[in-house]
Amino acid sequence: MPQYDAAFQGSRGAFSEIASWEMLGAAASLLPCPRLEEVFAAVHSGTARYGVVPVENSLAGSVILGVDLLIQHELFVIRETVCRIDHAVIGAPGVQLKDVRKLMSHPVALAQCEHFFQMHPQIQPVPEYDTAGAVEKVIKENQRDSAAIAGRRTAELFGGVVLADKIQDHAENFTRFLLVSPEKGEPDDSVRNKTTIVLKLANTPGSLFHSLRPFAERGIDLTKIESRPIKGSPFEYLFYIDLVSEPGKMPVVLEAVTELQKISASLRVLGTYPKTDARP
């Protein structure tokens, strides 16, 4: 029996923790992990039943490590959620924004706040493994010239002070999280679904064009296509692809995937799961 319902990367208060609750409910028992690789290890070992993986942000683009780990590991995607991300600058009690010279957070969070750094050139961005962990570090060490970027809830959790609020470049800032499992999910064809596949093209002229044709001919929407290098094979790539199907159209998607499989070097279906849209 797994000891936890899910593992997520970060400390308490991380956006991944919120995503975990959205997908599994507020009563879910959660395992915080310092690194995203440890989330996958916890699921493989059976310590956690599921893993929560960030894969895409509406401002910064793909979370590359999340995508690469999904490709590397034999796990299945069974659910997704989209979380609104509001970033705050959080410091130790008594610290003011004018005192801050270093601002720590996850690289993706830092990338979402470029305008803030342009407006405060005296502040240096410093990458950390996660947003909430950066807040915890600043507060526990009582750093006087540093602060962290995270959700304002972390200020309450760790006893910090909000020095600036909603500093992301755009108000419409969302991150997409996936729930991964050792077991396949059971698709519900009565709802809009998303199917995620990983594809290696045949090394022939026009292979990318021919790989997209089965979806174009059937009117299937591709919402994401990303190339990722194959380690150990210089300048060869896998394609990570998300497909959306309308209710009742899963047989059409399966037909297209089957056709694509015949003309590809390799194809793996990571999962089919209900599509979730960003909420205002």
Task: State in words which class domain 88-164 has.
Answer: alpha beta
Token code pair at residue 267: 């194809």
Residues 6+ apart with CB under 8 A from 73: 40, 44, 180
Distances (CA, A) of 137 to 113, 143, 251: 20, 8, 50
pTM of the model: 0.91
Active site residues: 175, 177
CA dihedral 163, 176, 209, 256 (to 10 degrees): -170
Task: Check residue 232 and give its pLDDT.
Answer: 86
- Comparing 4-84+174-181 with 88-164, is the CATH topology the same? yes
Taking residues 1-14, what's their average pLDDT? 92
- Could you read off the pLDDT of 234-260 as tens digits, one per residue? 888 999 999 999 999 999 999 999 999
- Could you read off the pLDDT of 114-161 as tens digits, one per residue? 999 999 999 999 999 889 999 999 999 999 999 999 999 999 999 999
Q: How deeply is 223 buried, as exposed, middle or buried, from its count of CB atoms within 10 A (0-12, 13-18, 19+)? A: exposed
Task: Check residue 5 and give its pLDDT.
Answer: 98
Which stretch, 92-96, 171-175, 199-203, has highest mean pLDDT? 92-96
CATH architecture group of domain 193-274:
2-Layer Sandwich (3.30)
CATH architecture group of domain 4-84+174-181:
3-Layer(aba) Sandwich (3.40)
Q: Where are the domains of the chain?
A: 4-84+174-181, 88-164, 193-274
Q: Which DSSP string do the residues of 75-130 spell out, in sequence order?
A: -EEEEEEEEE---EEEE-TT--GGG--EEEE-HHHHHTTHHHHHH-TTPEEEE-S-
Token code pair at residue 26: 């507020």
Residue 140 and residue 104 in contact, taking contact as beta carbons nearer than 8 Å: no
Task: Check residue 280 and give its pLDDT.
Answer: 64
Percent of the chain with pLDDT over 90: 89
Beta strand pairing status for 102-105 and 146-150? parallel
Task: Check residue 202 and give its pLDDT.
Answer: 83
- Could you read off the pLDDT of 80-114 as tens digits, one per residue? 999 999 999 999 999 999 999 999 999 999 999 99
Distances (CA, A) of 175 to 79, 109, 172, 185, 263: 14, 10, 10, 22, 33
- Could you read off the pLDDT of 42-76 as tens digits, one per residue? 999 999 999 999 999 998 899 999 999 999 999 99
